[in-house]
Amino acid sequence: MARKKEIQLQEELRNQEQWDDFLSKKGLGMIDVYQAWAGPCTAVNGMLRRIKNELGDDLLRFASAEADNIEALERYRGKCQPTFLFMAGGELVHVIRGANAPLINKAIPELLKAEHSVLEDGSERKVITDPIFDQEDKETEAEEEEEKEEEEEAGPQKEVTVAIIKPDAVQAGHVEDIIQRVKDAGFEILAQEERTLTEEEAREFYSHKADEEFFDELVAFMASGPSHVLVLSKGDEAGAEVIDEWRKIIGPFDSSVAKEEAPDSLRAQYGTDKSMNALHGSDSHEMATRELAFFFPNFQIPKAEAKPAQKRLQRTLALIRPDALKNHKDEILAKIQEAGFTVALQKEMQLTKDQATEFYKEHEGQDYFEQLIESMTCGPLLALGLAREDAVERWREMLGPKEVPAAQEEAPDSLRAQFAVEGVSVNPLHGSDSVENAEKEVQFFFPMQQTLAVVKPDAQEHKDAIIARIQEAGFNIAFQKETSLTEELAQQLYTEHEGKEFYGDLVEHMTSGPSLFMVLSVEDAVERFRSLMGPTDPEVAKEQCPDSLRAQFASDMLKNALHGSSNPDHAHEKIKAIFGDIEFNPDGTVKGMEPELDMATQPSAEGEEGEKEGEAEGGEQPAEEGEKKEEEEAKPEEEGEKPEAEAPATEEQKEEAPEGGDEPKPEEGGNEGAQEETSAEQESEAKDENEQKEAGENEGSEQAEGNEGEKESPEEGGTAEGEAAAEPAKEESGEEKPEGGEAEAETAPAEGGGEGEGEKAAEEEKPAEEAEQKEGEKAEEKPAEAPAE
């Protein structure tokens, strides 16, 4: 009686016809695939009977199938692990391996519900391929690819030609001389023999010349004595033009013509006429093959040395999701290194819901989508750019199946199986599924970025070595310019440090010689270059980052070899100040023509440094009040950015805090000396102010109109952005001053003195053009606008 119930529970499928009939019926079928010698898995029958009774659904059917006699199950033969295939509409919708009762108990109701939805509501059936076959197919493809590569490595055959030293040259004793000439020309003699042709052999060999009037004479000549036959090749590479080169060396067919047209050829030197021309050479690849078979029928042409196949170096994106990062970060990174991956890019970050939705937008609408987004945003994740040969395929192999239960059953050594977090249904790791998607995903987490890099005057002797290190680190030097900074441009570059005690020494150092300015493009360029530079203090750099550029090329905190932007906004602003308005292609290269440094348009918030340089010729013009306002406006703007950039400060960044991420803090007093020197210089130069005013009369009106508009720009910028940003900057450093602070106060007497003398001189002269002169004076007191270029 029990046997009867068991039969009713499971249909027995023993051939292809029964298999096809079972699949043709509506509903969900669970099939136990077994080997004839092992028999079906009876351990789950009790559970299946219970499920059948509880659900009472006619669409649910069970069967057992003998793989040995069913063609459709050919790939399942020889596999002794219990395998349960879930079929619907004649297609595979799920696979469970092993007698895993909890998985089966969970899967049946879910799959049955989905099939009802397909049949009743017209939903799309989710069809799969067996994951184990996907893996086998990949392995087969890899093996085929490997065989193909081995064939390519074996390389094609060398090109060969047949050369014959004819009876006349042999009889004259020229064989050794000709062979030496052959070797001197770089040919390799692969085979050689001396042979006397019969007339029949000669006719056969020259059958292609049977219609020539000299044919009989040629046959008689070739059979008149021994010939020396050579098989020649040249070089180890395939495709060497051996045939053409040999025919060029032997010269024209007629020796008399050869003596005139190619006197150095072998036929010119050893031949007599058309028939007795000393040498023969194959005239085509086909003829060379035929002649080789004629003289050396068993000769095997050697293989040419092929260049090693280029290894397919790839990169792929790996994501360690928040739960796994919290619990298994070090173990996962160790596995990655053991597998031979290079971590080329690395970033720990917290995704917003919008970012996660954008990244996984292709999965939107799936049942698991909300869980996936929640898992990706519940904490910080680690994004990695991994590089190695076949990185995409290798990383996905290491990950294993997407579903954690399947990974634990089918690939227990996979990363998703080993590092699954208990209670979390989403797998712990992400990997790109193709080379194309890998590039897109890497760009999503590591967008192309530019940063400003400066090789300072103290490191000019190491410039080439520094450039080499930068390029080795993967940076693209999109733009570069070597120039000696003027004081004004140096002040503009370091406007955020104005008022700090090391500011004067810093400006003096940066104007002491030429500097190399570079725009570097790469993913996450700012952070990566700062990491490559190392800490500001070379001594700290030598201890903490001995391979960094500052550890190797810097002298002290002032002469620390390099400058790098502290954040993307700072980089953009300074690149514009140094190089002008330039745009970049998606790959980081510069669009259009390279702008000249001295033609660059300066940002309005930074001040009109260009005309200052033009008027003062190298910086002799004293600093004016308008210029101070511009620098103060730029200062809070940049200092306002600094706290945001330094918020997650590392130990390395804390050491760089005095410079805001870039410059050192030398001994106290440096700024005071520089400012006193500036005051004295201003007092001296103020005496020439009247002359400068006269020189500017022709432009006075135009400048006044332009500068009245310019005067309002720094004030507006200061209220809109500078004041908002100045507050955190003041809190961070006691040395920072608000607008009109210490730095301006110290230089104010010099500015006031120069201004007073100029006005007094103007009043004494009182010319008829007084109004026009005053207009020019006002123009010079305001920040001058750079002339259009």
611-636 confidence digits (pLDDT tens) = 333 333 333 333 334 443 344 444 43
Quote the pLDDT of residue 613: 37
- Tell me: do 188 and 117 sit in the same domain: no
Same domain, 472 and 573: yes
Are residues 206 and 58 part of one domain? Answer: no
Q: What is the pLDDT of residue 636?
A: 38
Q: Is residue 241 part of a domain?
A: yes
Q: Is 720 a domain residue?
A: no
Contact call for residues 588 and 479 (beta carbons, < 8 A) = no
Integer distance in angstroms from the first to the last C-alpha of the chain? 103
Question: Do residues 504 and 409 both lie within one domain?
Answer: no
Can you give the residue range of the structural domain that contains 427? Answer: 313-445
Q: How far apart are CA 222 and CA 658, in angstroms?
A: 95
Q: Quick one: 647 and 511 in the same domain?
A: yes
Q: What is the mean pLDDT of residues 477-482?
A: 88
Output the domain CATH number for residue 111. Answer: 3.40.30.10
Tens digits of residue pLDDT in 77-114: 888 788 999 999 999 999 998 888 889 999 999 999 99
What is the domain-level CATH number for residue 509?
3.30.70.141
Residue after which a domain boundary falls, among 112, 128, 144? 128
Alpha helices in 352-478 (DSSP H): 353-359, 369-377, 391-399, 404-410, 415-418, 435-445, 463-472
Strand order in the sheet with 562-564: 476-483, 515-523, 448-455, 562-564
CA distance 244 to 262: 15
Q: Which two tokens stand for residue 78?
A: 């020889």
Residue with tokens 């006619």: 58
Q: Do residues 394 and 462 both lie within one domain?
A: no
Runs of H (alpha helix) within 34-130: 45-55, 101-121
- 508 versus 155: the higher-pLDDT residue is 508
Do 465 and 537 fall into the same domain? Answer: yes
List, in sequence order, every residue forming a beta bridge with 63; answer none if it has no partner: 11, 31
Name the residues annotated as catalytic.
280, 430, 563
- The mean pLDDT of the chain is 76
**Quick one: 232 and 273 in the same domain?**
yes
Q: Which residues are annotated as a binding site for ATP?
A: 456, 502, 530, 536, 550, 560
What is the reported pLDDT for 225? 94
Regarding whether 465 and 330 lie in a shared domain, the answer is: no
Q: Which of 659, 679, 712 is where one domain is finished?
A: 659
Confidence band, pLDDT 50/70/90 cuts, at residue 38: confident
Q: Is residue 215 classed exposed, middle or buried when 0-12, 13-18 and 19+ CB atoms within 10 A define those classes?
A: middle
**Residues belonging to the chain:** 789
What tens digit of pLDDT does each residue of 299-320 get?
Answer: 888 877 655 545 567 889 999 9
Weakest-pLDDT range from 11-20, 203-212, 706-715: 706-715
Do 274 and 354 lie in a common domain? Answer: no
Indicate whether this model's pTM tops 0.75.
no
Q: What is the CB neighbour count within 10 angstroms for residue 310? A: 6
Between strands 28-34 and 60-66, the pairing is parallel
Average pLDDT rounded to a whole number, residues 544-554: 92
Q: Is residue 224 a part of any domain in this protein?
A: yes
Distance, CA of 226 to CA of 532 (rounded, Å): 74
pLDDT tens digit string along 675-700? Answer: 444 444 444 444 444 444 444 444 44
Q: pLDDT tens digit string along 742-788?
A: 333 333 333 334 444 444 444 444 444 444 444 444 444 444 333 33
Backbone phi and psi for residue 91, each to the nearest 5 degrees, phi listed first: -130, 155
pLDDT in tens, 437-470: 998 898 899 888 899 999 999 999 999 999 999 9
Q: Final residue of a domain: which of 295, 323, 357?
A: 295
Residue 95: per-residue pLDDT: 93
8 Å CB contact between 552 and 534: no
Q: Is the domain of 220 the same as that of 195?
A: yes
Is 744 inside any structural domain?
no
Q: Is residue 301 part of a domain?
A: no
Of 747, 750, 729, the C-alpha closest to 738 is 729
Does some domain include residue 151?
A: no
pLDDT of residue 153: 57
Is residue 492 assigned to a domain? yes
How many domains does the chain fold into? 4
Q: Residue 27: inside a domain, yes or no? A: yes
419 and 457 assigned to the same domain: no
